[in-house]
Amino acid sequence: MAALLAGALLMGAAPTPDPYVYMEEAEGAKALDFARAENARSLPQLQNDPRYAGLYADALKIATAKDRIPGVALANDGTLRDFWQDADHVRGVWRTTTLASYRTAAPEWKTILDVDALAKAEGKNWVFKGAQCLKPAERFCLVSLSNGGKDAVEIREFDAQAGQFVEGGFRIPEAKANVSWLDKDTLAIATEWTPGDLTESSYPYILKTLKRGQPLAAAHEVFRGLKTDVSTAPVILREPDGAVAAFLATRGLDFFNSEVQLITPQGPKKVDLPKKSTIQAYVEGQLVVTLEQDWPQKGFKEGDLIAFDLAAVKADPADLKGTLILRPSLSQSVEEVTATRHRLAVVLYDNVKAKLLTFRHEGGAWTSAAADLPKDSTISVSSASDVDDRMIVAVTSFLTPSSQWLADGATGKAQTLKTTPARFDASRDKVEQLWAVSKDGTRIPYWVVRPKALKLDGSAPTLLTAYGGFQVSQTPTYAAMAGKLWLEKGGVYVLANIRGGGEFGPRWHNAGLKLNRMRVYEDFFAVSQDLIARKITSPKKLGIEGGSNGGLLMGVALTQHPELYNAIVIQVPLFDMIGYTHIGAGASWVGEYGDPAVPAERAVLDSYSPYQKLAPGQPYPKVFLETSTKDDRVHPAHARKAAARLKEYGYDYLYYENVDGGHAASANLNERAMRVALEYAYLAQRLMD
């Protein structure tokens, strides 16, 4: 509260108390009373819709289908590991099988950890947040367990071979901790060493090493950032045999700018990398980095993929000499980088269409080859082997069921492992990539999934979504839920690749940062208006949805151009952009949005902050706001305050707050199906009735 008033005084304005500041106490009694009352008012309006039961049944069937493709990872012993959820394993089971068995129609799985059973035994609402296993054996693992889906996790050492937690093993209390194995008896860990001793963004900033059997209080400090940073985290580079090649620490200055420190027995040494760069992989003695800014002193450009000899880095971290691996064109972006035993695997997008390249470092030079995978698709490397050059690769597109491939980086050959059964009838639909022109003349691509026989008369119920932030790319994926619950019912689905994302590399993201933030929203409005101008839809039939940063986008659309839309789904949003730096983890995003304490940046935030822009007497459509009590990333206060302000001004709206679920607003598959069914019931009411 005091910080919000201080911000107002900084700008010379009279302080205006926020009547809904109590919403910022995540589990405060008054805030929860508001949420429960809003749920009781809103949910019947959707769940009593005669379509809801069918939508929920279809969503649940898709979410819990046992013939989904498992997200398997290659283990060093040749087996596959997977975390799986279905109707019988709502919280999920961590399990393993052999590659030979996995190739069959009915693989034989062995349970490593049953999270449903663990939650029942301990009386906890555990959500599995992954396991980090010590290489090369991968027997001992650090399992992360979240209470209800929060980002903060409790970490316990687990013996994957014995299928049980290690008695007296490593155990880190609940925190937003960053942890890595150094060796079997040592962890590198940044956590909340004393209560409340965190950065302003609520993340750890002190990195220590912890020996087996030591209490946390005895851990040895190796690096300390500042409380004004975002966070500090260890980065351990390993040789294929598991030996540590280098112990690094990343100091996050903000969400995008960071410093890298080489941790040595003599103390930390700063590594000469640009602040906007990202360590991507380590392979064959080469440290691989992407640049998110130009590096003119070294002759490199924004978007470049470059490599450094690690031995030279360790010898002189203050003077790096790099080698260019790949320089994307203006239509391209390096979307993903990972390493196999001998090769670098790079997913490269060109006009938002992917291909997989592999690179080999030989004789001081890099050579490349392309993997033989389906074209005009979204490609992602799910897992890469440490013992050979095989990869598990996911391939997907809007209308073709997703498939999983075993690719060999050495030969480029790939074999299909699994294919998802069709979840909806796509025979009547088609996909096209169209382009809109934004306010400043920039061409913005967007994807339209529509009936082949669509009449261009503006009558099609259309759902448009986008994200536009944090260099996160929005690419075509199999539209299982949207296909069944929307496309089959005659709807049109649209995905926009607006600036702020990473579809065209860091330049696309950097174009929408801070003072240039309005470009992101202008791109979205341009796509909306283009859909209407092409008579694909009309304002009466156009709905939009987005979550997190995309939820902020929805709030801006609501307050700046309500005349364009008749339905807006606002998921786990940011909304109060004047007070956001003091709500939850908001301070970590100053690098994206700007700081309301800086006058020039405050002026831009003032121009679009949805919470402050809400006003009475506007032509707002009836919106649907969603959040989660357990969201410790984007605080539920944003959605709560938006709903309270809409209520104050007399608007009709819907609100749903899941008491669990974290930032995904759903802690398990049943809750996810419910949330999706609520959304499509709302969209049907607004756009199809």
Query: Burial letters for 134-169: b for 16+ Cβ neighbours within 10 Å, e otherwise?
Result: bbbebebbbbbbbbbbbbbbbbbbbebeeeebeeee
Which one-letter amino acid corresponds to residue 403? S
Contact 263, 249 (CB under 8 A): yes
Q: Is residue 663 annotated as part of the catalytic site, yes or no?
A: yes
Task: Spell out the long-range contacts of 257-262 with Cβ–Cβ below 8 A and sequence spacing 24 or more.
Answer: 257/591, 260/235, 261/223, 262/313, 262/314, 262/317
Q: Which of 464, 676, 493 is nearest to 554 (CA)?
A: 464
Sign for the pseudo-dihedral over CA of 306, 309, 313, 318: negative
Q: What is the Cα–Cα distance from 119 to 410, expressed in whole angstroms?
A: 43
Q: What is the Cα–Cα distance from 414 to 406, expressed in whole angstroms?
A: 5
CA 233 to chain centre: 18
Which of 89, 635, 638, 663 does the annotation list as catalytic? Answer: 663
Q: What is the Cα–Cα distance from 114 to 556, expressed in whole angstroms?
A: 43
Which one-letter amino acid corresponds to residue 135? K
Q: What is the Cα–Cα distance from 253 to 228, expressed in whole angstroms?
A: 8
User: Could you write out the DSSP letters of every residue in 160-187?
Assistant: TTTTEEPTT--EEEEE--EEEEEETTEE
CA 472 to chain centre: 7
Which run of H or of E encompasses 249? strand 244-252
Q: CA–CA distance from 137 to each of 76, 102, 182, 184, 476 (Å)?
A: 7, 21, 14, 10, 36
Which run of H or of E encompasses 508? helix 506-510
> 107 by DSSP, 3-state: which?
coil
Which of 277, 548, 588, 666 does the annotation list as catalytic? Answer: 548
> 304 by DSSP, 3-state: which?
coil
Three-class SS string for 557-569? HHHHCHHHCCEEE
> 502 by DSSP, 3-state: which?
coil
* Ramachandran category for residue 364: left, alpha or beta (phi over 0 → left; psi -120 to 50 → alpha): left
Q: Is residue 582 annotated as part of the catalytic site, yes or no?
A: no
Q: What is the Cα–Cα distance from 625 to 623, expressed in whole angstroms?
A: 6
| Token pair 């009735």: residue | 689
Query: Which pair of tokens denotes residue 13?
Result: 């304005």
- With 0-12 CB in 10 A as exposed, 13-18 as middle and 19+ as buried, what is 577? buried
CA geometry: angle 472, 474, 477, nearest 5 deg: 135
Where are the strands (E) in 62-185, listed by range? 73-74, 79-86, 89-98, 110-114, 126-133, 140-147, 153-159, 164-165, 171-175, 178-183
Instruction: Give me the active site residues, please.
Output: 548, 663
